[in-house]
Structure 1
Amino acid sequence: MSDFADRWTQRLHSGFPLLAAMDVRLVGDARAWQLHAPFDPNRNDHGTAFGGSLSTLATIAGWLYVSVLAGDAFDVVIQSGNAHFVQPLQTGLVSQVTAVSDDELVRFRQTLARRGRARLTVHASVGDGTSEAMRFTGQYVAVRLPG
């Protein structure tokens, strides 16, 4: 596991006890990463992945993406989110974020520098790593921490 993956996995587990119960792991490095969660603790009574686990994993993937972009001097929260469930999932969960455009990234960083807060819309998906079970769009807000 990379230092990036180890540090963020620990932060996710300590900051969000639900993610520890889901056994969420960050896989990859700062340039390319995914969130993984095993099927068993995230299944429902129908033998498929629990929709709440899919939503949680996508929400946290977006939060992590914005947190990495904003840096340690900013707190990030979700403002709104929308999930669209495409098909059932019967394997381990894999979530990934679609990178924002260069223009969006520049606007986000300029607004953060100028106002100390900025919003960013992020698109994520959850599936088995090859096919998509859920699409998620979330709007996140980064706010400069005091001090």
Structure 2
Amino acid sequence: MTPQALVAYLHEHIPLSRAMDVSVLLASAEEVVLEAPLNPNINVHGTMFGGSVGVLGLLAAWSVLHLRLEAEGIANQLVIHKTETEYLRPIGGTARAVARLDGADWGGFIHTLQRRHKARLTVSADLEYAGELAARLRGEFVSILEG
């Protein structure tokens, strides 16, 4: 999927991504990079609202897993089970979320999914501001086979 196709998908199916003005810099089955500007996500302190930071990380993590499952032709419903976000520093401008599947037990995940028709996988997203790590999200996702 191209970055343009992913941003169109997110804006159509997850309208909050449009309100946050999320853009897609990279969209592949191994890595997704998203950005969001400060203005639509600003808080009373002039920095990015924590909820927006968390959502940006969640969107990146969900997207990379969605794209990998799609690339492998696996029809499924992909939902979030739980998340945890660690906020390390304020974000005073455009935030970038980077999610990768390296290090994930993909083989075990697929084996469980095929056997039980449902499986969980944890995906992390690093959120960066001005070239530094500003937050980290860990999300546990559940994939449920369709059909």
TM-score for the superposition, normalised by structure 1: 0.89
C-alpha separation between the residues in 2 aligned to 1:115 and 1:92? 41
How far off is 1:91 after superposition?
1.1
Q: Name 1:23's counterpart in structure 2.
A: 21
Does the 8 A contact of 1:91 with 1:128 survive in 2? yes
CA RMSD of aligned residues (A): 1.6
Cα distance in structure 2, aligned partners of 1:65 and 1:25 = 14
SS in 2 for 1:121: strand
Q: Against the structure 1 CA distance between its residues 129 and 78, is the aligned structure 2 distance closer, same or farther, given a 3 Å change threshold? A: farther
Instruction: Specify the code of the residue in structure 2 equivalent to 1:36.
Output: E
Question: Are residues 101 and 32 of structure 1, via their aligned partners in 2, closer, same or farther at CA, if it must alter by over 3 Å?
Answer: closer
Alignment partners' CA distance in 1, 2:44 and 2:27: 34
1:58 aligns with 2:60: no
- CA shift at 1:37, angstroms? 0.8
2:2 alignment partner, SS class:
helix
One-letter code of the match for 1:52?
Answer: G
Taking a change above 3 Å as real, the CA distance of residues 83 and 100 of structure 1, as seen in their structure-2 partners, is same
Contact 1:70-1:109 within 8 A present in 2 as well: no
SS in 1 for 2:92: coil
What TM-score does the superposition give when structure 2 sets the normalisation length? 0.89
Gaps of 5+ in 2: none
Q: Which runs of 4+ in 1 moved over 3 A?
A: none
Query: Identity of paired residues, percent?
Result: 30
Structure 1 residue 129: deviation in Å? Answer: 5.9
